[in-house]
Amino acid sequence: DATRANTTVRTTCAYCGVGCGVLATPRADGSVDIAGDPEHPANFGRLCSKGSALGETLGLDGRLLHPRVGGRRVSWDAATELVAERFAHAIAEHGPNSVALYVSGQLLTEDYFVANKLMKGFIGSANIDTNSRLCMASAVAGHRRAFGADIVPGTYEDFEQADLVVLVGSNLAWCHPVLHQRLMAARDRIGTRLVVIDPRRTATAVDADLHLAIEPGSDVALFNGLFAYMSEVGAVDTGFVAAHTCGLEQALAEASGHVADVARLTGLDPSDVQAFFELFARTEKVVTAFSQGVNQSVSGTDKVNSIINCHLISGRIGKPGMGPFSVTGQPNAMGGREVGGLATQLAAHMDLEAAADRERLGRFWQTRSVADRPGLKAVDLFEAVRDGRIKALWIMATNPVASMPDADLVREALKACPFVVVSDILPDTDTAKCADVLLPAAGWGEKDGTVTNSERLISRQRAFLDLPGEARPDWWIITQIARRMGFTAAFPYSKPADIFAEHAALSSFENDGGRAFDIGGLAALDAAGYHELAPARWPFRRDASAQTRFGGDGRFFTPDGRARFVATPVAGPAREPRYPMVLNTGRVRDHWHTMTRTGRSPRLSRHIAEPFVEIHPLDAAQAGIGPADLVRVESPLGQIVVRALVAATQRQGTVFVPMHWNGQTASDARVDSLVIADTDPVSGQPALKSGRVRIARF
């Protein structure tokens, strides 16, 4: 559209949870100039390699531009009628729990809100889960256990004000590069000490004052040891603990059981453990930031609580430069949590298992169909699809055939499912190939809405391109189908601003301060106000009293207002003698998820051009593997063949394979097809960082 040419639009990046502000300027030749937004408080003009290459990932090559049924192009009317009819039929025949939605942290909050409303409010089932289950469900569960609500207490500024930053299971330099840049710039100014706890010597670990190359999965032993040490040396804020917490004695009793064993359990040098404990105990301003290395584990929730325990005992929470901090992977993982995108939550942080909250939501939405029990979490959901319990499934903006653990089972499940709908921008992802109905969704740059980053900052993502072909925003697609299912009055939306206003009003509906998420102060925005909305951090209550952090005032969201120490038992690592290596999976710097977007940029693909397995030199020598050899990586579920990267950065006995490469590439290198779908019993998050494999030269 010529009218858009040379007009700069303020938007946000499509990728990670840092949530950088972007200035996008479409040009008359079809190209788009991208720059960091100097006024956005997440990045102040910075962008990383992925963000700055966003303009190279646009274009319509290979795009899904029309609805398709059974591979044939159909009208929107025909496609939405078919989806509504098949969902309604399954519900009529088998009940509301026979249908499911699997959505994505790539969705905008407005899309997420409508999807969740349809499922939990009107279909009457909580069978809507999201790929955020793979990302930060353990952090959510840990927050709820400790604080009574899913709150990230601090902000990015705390990274810049801390004297010590501890990064646990986080390769911040590659996975959240702009936050890492902010941390490094602050370090230059104030000399921040940096401790990195990660089995691998990552690009982040290289910068650390102390790198603890921990045995995978042993984080609870380390933080329990630290917790007990702090108690022993008196690094305790007794006033805070007495007035604002409970459960210390029980948690300490659990933690003290293994103190003498910390070095052995973690595989660390005792002097390094001691140095870490001393540094942490004596430094007041500490931020402990954690990411997938913590969350993606069978003990992910306990890991989160073992970290939070160390901040609660010292009262280092919710004050400048202090606090535990969950860094989220996806651009809108936090927004999804706000609207109840997880099968275990209701919208606006209301509790699915609390009758008062279900009734409250029913009053607000004027429905009697609010789901009354938690739905299926991601791994269980696809098992239910395979077992035939789910008769109709709708997947939005995600590629579970590449990204779920036991990914081949997901493909089998989709092939066996009577009716699979996929909304996406591409017709040929591993998942889209399994669809009966393909719905063309709007992509980044074409859609309009909001996202919330890791520090609770709500920002607008704005369109700067016209909708191509017949592609439509996800909220529109869901709305059409909801209306065709008979829920017309409840889905009156004609634009994202309508949905945001409802979302904001719901957050403050009958909220006397008992629910942390409250953006009632944004509920009165009209379309113009919504269009212009500047980044706003929640809570943003109607009374407009500013609150940057949570917990500093000692107020939490449990029934008695006190934070909880949680006893976190140390679990032994799972061993499988026939598959002796621990498989760690994760990101590389310049790719995102299953590469459906970043794979289009030659510049990004130059950083790391092909999938690899990173192996310690001694393990490689023992297996007769040399640098750049082809290696078969095999688990009980299958095998992939990838190039060897022999490097002492890898901990002995462990290997690392990136998660990005998928079935579209020349060799099928979907590493998640090798990972058994073990999950954390509390959060349901899969243990994507502790697969069991053996390696051999191919």
Closer residue to ligand SF4 in complex, CB, 172/463: 172
Nearer of residues 16 and 676 to ligand SF4, judged by Cβ: 16
From the CA atom positions of the chain, what is the Rg in Å? 24
Cβ of residue 691: shortest distance to ligand SF4, in angstroms? 26
Query: What SS3 class is residue 338?
Result: helix
Q: How far is CA 176 from each of CA 50, 318, 449, 458, rounded to the nearest angstrom?
A: 10, 22, 22, 18
Asked whether the beta carbons of 691 and 655 are under 8 A apart, the reply is no
For residue 263, give both structure tokens: 């070095």
Q: Which of residues 41-70 bind ligand SF4 (CB under 6 A)?
A: 43, 47-48, 50-51
13 binds ligand SF4 per the rule CB under 6 A: yes
CB environment 447-463: b (16+ within 10 A), e (fewer): bbbbbbbbbbbbbbbbb
Q: Which of 20, 481, 504, 563 binds ligand SF4 (CB under 6 A)?
A: 20
Among the listed residues 9, 10, 18, 590, the single contact to ligand SF4 using CB under 6 A: 18
Identify which range of 148-156, 175-183, 408-416, 517-525 contacts ligand SF4 by CB under 6 A. 175-183
| Nearer CB in complex with ligand SF4: 34/313 | 34
Of 9-17, 427-435, 485-493, 648-656, which segment contacts ligand SF4 by CB under 6 A? 9-17
Tell me how many degrees the CA angle 79-83-87 measures, rounded to the nearest 5.
170
The SS3 of residue 85 is helix
**Smallest distance, ligand SF4 to C-beta of residue 598, A:** 10
CB of 613 to ligand SF4, least distance (A): 25
Instruction: Give the residue closest to ligand SF4 by C-beta.
Output: 51
Helix, strand, coil percent content, the chain, rounded in steps of 5: 40, 15, 45
Q: Which is nearer to ligand SF4, 203 or 236 (CB)?
A: 203
For residue 223, the Cα-to-chain-centroid distance in whole angstroms is: 23
Q: What's the min distance (Å) between Cβ of 449 and ligand SF4? A: 16
Positive or negative, the CA dihedral 270, 274, 280, 281 is positive
Is-contact 330 17, C-beta < 8 A? yes
Rounded Cα–Cα distance for residues 689 and 639 (Å): 17
Minimum distance, C-beta of residue 18 to ligand SF4, in the bound complex (Å): 4
Helix axes 109-116, 496-508, angle to 10 degrees: 70
Q: What is the nearest approach in angstroms of ligand SF4 to the Cβ of residue 108? A: 15
Which of 458/485 has CB closer to ligand SF4?
458
Q: How far is the CB of 592 from ligand SF4 (least distance, A)?
A: 7
Residue 15 lies near ligand SF4 (rule: CB under 6 A): yes
Answer whether 74's CB lies under 8 Å from 477's CB: no
How many residues are present in the chain?
698
Q: What is the DSSP string of 416-431?
A: HSS-EEEEES-S-STT
| Per CB under 6 A, 174 contacts ligand SF4 | no
Residue 460 contacts residue 536 (beta carbons within 8 Å): no
Residue type, 251: A
Nearest-approach distance from CB 653 to ligand SF4, in angstroms = 32
Least Cβ distance, residue 32 to ligand SF4 (angstroms): 15
Task: Determine the size of the site formed for ligand SF4 (CB under 6 A).
Answer: 14
Closer CB to ligand SF4, 604 or 646, in the complex: 604
Residue with smaller CB distance to ligand SF4, 34 or 477: 34
State the minimum distance, in angstroms, from the CB of residue 466 to ligand SF4. Answer: 23
Asked if 672 contacts 403 with a C-beta cutoff of 8 angstroms, the reply is yes
Cβ at position 180, least distance to ligand SF4 in Å: 8
Provide the 3-class DSSP secondary structure of residue 56: helix
By the rule CB under 6 A, 16 interacts with ligand SF4: yes
User: Of the two residues 165 and 582, which places its CB atom closer to ligand SF4 in the complex?
Assistant: 165
Q: Which C-beta is closer to ligand SF4: that of 54 or that of 69? A: 54
Q: Which of 69, 108, 178, 478 binds ligand SF4 (CB under 6 A)?
A: 178
Q: Minimal distance in Å, beta carbon 55 to ligand SF4?
A: 12
**Is residue 189 within 8 Å of 311, Cβ to Cβ?**
no
Residue 23 binds ligand SF4 (CB under 6 A): no
| Prior bond of 539 cis (ω within 30°) | yes
Residues 118-157, one symbol each (x = binds ligand SF4 by CB under 6 A, - = not), give: ----------------------------------------
User: Strand order in 420-424's β-sheet?
Assistant: 72-73, 68-69, 437-440, 420-424, 392-396, 99-103, 128-130
Nearer to ligand SF4, 125 or 132 (CB): 132
* Contact of 597 with 62, CB cutoff 8 Å: no
**CB of 135 closer than 8 Å to CB of 250:** no
Burial of 684 (0-12, 13-18, 19+ CB in 10 A): buried
Paired tokens of 117: 């409303």
CB of 42 to ligand SF4, least distance (A): 7
Select 158 or 436, whichever has its Cβ closest to ligand SF4.
158
Residue 120 or 176: which CB sits closer to ligand SF4?
176
**Residue 167 or 625 having the CB closest to ligand SF4:** 167
Q: Does 335 bind ligand SF4 (CB under 6 A)?
A: no
User: At its nearest, how many Å lie between ligand SF4 and the CB of residue 587?
Assistant: 10
49 or 639: whose CB is closer to ligand SF4?
49
If binding is defined by CB under 6 A, does position 34 make contact with ligand SF4? no
At residue 114, φ and ψ (nearest 5 deg) are -70, -40
Please identify which residue in 55, 67, 177, 440 interacts with ligand SF4, judged by CB under 6 A. Answer: 177
User: Please, which residue, 51 or 663, has the CB nearer to ligand SF4?
Assistant: 51
CA angle 400, 404, 407 (to 5 degrees): 85
- Positions 203 through 262 that interact with ligand SF4 (CB under 6 A): none
Cβ(170)–Cβ(343) under 8 Å?
no
HSE (side-chain half, CA atoms, 13 Å) at 554: 13
- Provide the binding-site residues for ligand SF4, judged by CB under 6 A: 13, 15-16, 18-20, 43, 47-48, 50-51, 176-178
